[in-house]
Amino acid sequence: MDKWLKRALELAVQNVEEGGHPFGAVLVKEDRIVAEGVNELHLKHDVSGHAELVAIRKAQEEWETTDLSDCVMYASGEPCPMCMTAIYFSNIPKVIYAQSVEEAMDVGLSAGGKVYKELTMPKEKRSIEMLRQKVESPELDAMKKFAEKE
């Protein structure tokens, strides 16, 4: 097993022993750990406290950039859709993980699998109601203002 993936799994096991969920993440650049994270839901009332997001935040804050395109994410579990979105947005080109979403679902951690399934459905069939109201006032059109700024 890859040493960095082994480290992510060690973090996950330690997190379970401390009362948390079984997720650890290690962000690596040029064969060096730049940030680590564990699922912090048991410590903070913050649903975004996932291991991958914790590691991404640490690296971005330290380097003062959102671009992590020269890093690899090692995760004990397959990243959920929220974490994958952050991985895409931070340009991380590779994720190596050990345990699948299906394995997480088998032990009662089903949110990630549910969201992956929901995202394949048309908006009108999802469990969260999505209602769009178009911008009517030009002074409230932030997208247009942004485009003009470029």
| Dihedrals phi, psi of 29, to nearest 5 degrees | -130, 125
Lowest-confidence region among 58-62, 103-107, 146-150? 146-150
Tokens for 124, please give them: 């009108």
102 is catalytic: no
pLDDT at 1: 85
Of all residues in the chain, what percent carry a pLDDT higher than 70?
100
Whole-structure pTM over 0.75, yes or no? Answer: yes
Confidence class for position 144, pLDDT limits 50, 70, 90: very high
Q: Return the bridge partners of 25, or none.
A: 37, 75
Q: Select which of 18, 30, 40, 52 is catalytic.
A: 52
Residue 150 has pLDDT above 80, yes or no: no
pLDDT at 149: 87
Cα distance between the two ends of the chain = 46
Cβ partners under 8 Å of residue 90, min gap 6 = 56, 60, 66, 67, 68, 69
* HSE-up of residue 116 (Cα within 13 Å, Cβ side): 15
Closest CA to 91 of 72, 59, 68: 68
Give CA–CA dist 86/8, Å, rounded.
Answer: 18
Residue 33 has pLDDT above 80, yes or no: yes
Cβ partners under 8 Å of residue 43, min gap 6 = 20, 49
Q: Provide the phi-psi class of 64: left if phi over 0, else alpha when psi is between -120 and 50, else beta.
A: left
Q: Which single residue is written with the structure tokens 């949110």?
A: 111
- Tell me the average pLDDT of the chain: 96
Q: What is the pLDDT of residues 72-124, one digit of tens each?
A: 999 999 999 999 999 999 999 999 999 999 999 999 998 999 999 999 999 99
